[in-house]
Structure 1
Amino acid sequence: MIKVIEEKTLFTGKNFYINGSINRNLTPEFLQELNAHFKNSEPDEILDWGFHNFGKTMVVGTGFGPSGILLIHRLATLKIPATIFYLDTNLLFEETYKLKDEIEELFGIEILPVSTFLSLEQQAQNFGDELWKTNPDKCCEIRKVLPLKQYLSDKKAWVTGIRRNQATTRQETDIVEWDPLNLVVKINPLALWSNDRVWDYIETHNLPYNPLHDFGYPTIGCVPCTQPVAAGEDERSGRWKNLKKIECGIHMPAQNFKNRTDN
């Protein structure tokens, strides 16, 4: 059962402050208030709020899609010194690694790789060859879900580029959520943005992007599990094609406090 705190979380002007323990102050009511306030906000205000509250315990994840590149550009413009990381499964496209290098050089930053301790060879020895075919959920757990959980274990907030219109599994995404798996505040500044709006931003600011996007790949993950999509399909329909799977497991459907317990 969720314990509702007695003391009221402060709200002053555009800034919401989280007092003391996040678990005891980030109530469902406060989340609702935050999301109502940020509904018409630009990403800058949301990122500024996040860094103001969490400082260097706020980290930014990217898969080097256009949404992530947009957020990196905003962070650089705002001079917010947040750590930026990506999940390196050792199965990413060559184009993705090249884009990472280009982004690092453009913004003068270093993007931290977060990886499993298990090499692909060790994974094959333990679970069989091409685990992504025989048990894709297990492969994602080993190479993405568990490394992320370990990395976020000493963090307080995680910024992502996910959006509601990317897939049916993301339609309930809020701008600020509680992540019950990783026990962090999850901040999604672009949750309400459309795909067209993101790409307009990329083009307006002449930002680099993965060239695979020009060949029918709206989203790009690991090589074995990413294919082009047909016209009219949602953005993530090219991931794990022909399987009942469109999420790797790091982005749970927005549930806020549904599965949460206070410690």
Structure 2
Amino acid sequence: MPSFASPVLQFDESQLEHINNKLNAMKPEQILDWASVTFSGLFQETAFGPSGNVITDILHAQNNSVPVIFVDTLHHFDETLDLAKRSQQKYGFKLHVYKPLGCETREDFVAKHGDQLWKTDDVVYDYSVKVEPARRAYEELQVQAVITGRRRSQKGDRAALRIVEIEKGTGLVKINPLASWSFQQVWSYLRANEVPYNALLDQGYKSVGDYHSTRPVNAGEDERAGRWEGSEKTECGLHKDYFAMRAAFLARKKKQDAAVSPSSSAQQVAPVA
């Protein structure tokens, strides 16, 4: 289990509320300026979705060289991986790519975890492809704060999103400069500023995740309706309670191990982080 530093910003809930009230009146550019002078260990964490692309463009316009963390689940669309390359070529940011532990390719992942793990055990899948690689990145890169593209208009768990959050138990600060924006504001910015975006957006997608659990959005549906259809999930794990995710992962792993006979080959899972 990784060691977590004390919170970088130490203040009570009323002080955090005061900061958020001040930042709510600011434009994304001003929020990003505030973040850049407040945190030395500041990173942008993105899967190159529309909001993340807007933030990357704003940071570039400010000559703000914030490094980028990309968690490659090994199950992204080819269009997403192509966008990651195009974005880095245009903006020149330092890109840190983290993949599931011990896996370099999708074939490696299947060999280690079996085929279609997202169907057989979505808890182990989410932990292995998102939570563990992200935590490894935070520890190795000494991350104090991450900039995310989450917005209230995406609804679900994000409806009450604040601009600044401090993750309980870890001290990780999450900054959401586009929290108050709508999808239309994001889309208008992308087009007006000729920002690289995922080609899947032109095919009806609005929120793009792994290829096996993402579909285009129909007229009148919420922006993230195309994610995890038929499931109650609204988040993949990156923005859930880390310790709850870890506990669920451990419980599933214990159950798997108990179900495997000595003569069988146990399905491997990533070591706990």
Shorter-chain TM-score above 0.5: yes
1:32 maps onto 2:17 in alignment:
yes
Show the counterpart of 1:244. 232
Distance 1:206 1:121, change over 3 A: closer
Show the counterpart of 1:15. none
Give the Cα–Cα distance (whole angstroms) in 2 for the partners of residues 207 and 247 of structure 1.
26
In structure 1, list runs of 5 or more residues that go unmatched. 1-20, 254-263
1:83 corresponds, among 49, 64, 67, to 67
Give the Cα–Cα distance (whole angstroms) in 2 for the partners of residues 91 and 74 of structure 1.
28
Give the Cα–Cα distance (whole angstroms) in 1 for the partners of residues 193 and 108 of structure 2.
43
Show the counterpart of 1:96. 80
Q: Using CA pairs below 8 Å that are at least 6 residues apart, which structure has the higher relative contact order?
A: 2
Show the counterpart of 2:48. 64
- AA of the residue aligned to 1:48: D
**1:171-200 Cα shifts (integer Å, max 9, x gaps):** 011000112265311100001111111111
Q: CA deviation at 1:122?
A: 5.2
1:51 maps onto 2:14 in alignment:
no
Show the counterpart of 1:191. 179
Give runs of ≥4 in structure 1 deviating > 6 Å.
Answer: none
Give the Cα–Cα distance (whole angstroms) in 1 for the partners of residues 238 and 102 of structure 2.
18
Distance 1:94 1:251, change over 3 A: same
Give the Cα–Cα distance (whole angstroms) in 2 for the partners of residues 85 and 168 of structure 1.
24
The 5 Å alignment of 1:171-182 reads: 171-180=159-168, 182=170
1:112 maps onto 2:96 in alignment:
yes
Work out whether residues 152 and 182 of structure 1, in 8 Å CA contact, stay in contact via their aligned partners in 2.
no
Distance 1:112 1:126, change over 3 A: closer
SS of 2:126's equivalent? helix
SS of 2:216's equivalent? coil
**1:113-165 Cα shifts (integer Å, max 9, x gaps):** 12122324454455432101111222111010111112113211111010011
RMSD after superposition: 1.8
Give the Cα–Cα distance (whole angstroms) in 1 for the partners of residues 114 and 194 of structure 2.
44
Give the Cα–Cα distance (whole angstroms) in 2 for the partners of residues 36 and 179 of structure 1.
19
1:235 maps onto 2:223 in alignment:
yes
**1:1-40 Cα shifts (integer Å, max 9, x gaps):** xxxxxxxxxxxxxxxxxxxx64672321121011100112
Q: Percent identity?
A: 34
Give the Cα–Cα distance (whole angstroms) in 1 for the partners of residues 210 and 115 of structure 2.
16
Give the Cα–Cα distance (whole angstroms) in 2 for the partners of residues 24 and 78 of structure 1.
24
Show the counterpart of 2:58. 74
- AA of the residue aligned to 1:104: Q
- AA of the residue aligned to 1:141: Y
TM-score (norm 1): 0.82
Give the Cα–Cα distance (whole angstroms) in 1 for the partners of residues 82 and 108 of structure 2.
26
SS of 2:25's equivalent? coil
Q: CA deviation at 1:111?
A: 2.2
In the comparison of the two structures, how many residue pairs are matched?
Answer: 232
1:222 maps onto 2:230 in alignment:
no
Show the counterpart of 1:138. 124
Show the counterpart of 1:42. 27
Give the Cα–Cα distance (whole angstroms) in 2 for the partners of residues 151 and 49 of structure 1.
23
TM-score (norm 2): 0.80
Give the Cα–Cα distance (whole angstroms) in 1 for the partners of residues 88 and 15 of structure 2.
36
Give the Cα–Cα distance (whole angstroms) in 2 for the partners of residues 138 and 238 of structure 1.
22
Work out whether residues 237 and 246 of structure 1, in 8 Å CA contact, stay in contact via their aligned partners in 2.
no
The 5 Å alignment of 1:201-220 reads: 201-220=189-208
Work out whether residues 177 and 187 of structure 1, in 8 Å CA contact, stay in contact via their aligned partners in 2.
yes
Distance 1:58 1:165, change over 3 A: same
Distance 1:25 1:246, change over 3 A: closer
SS of 2:39's equivalent? helix
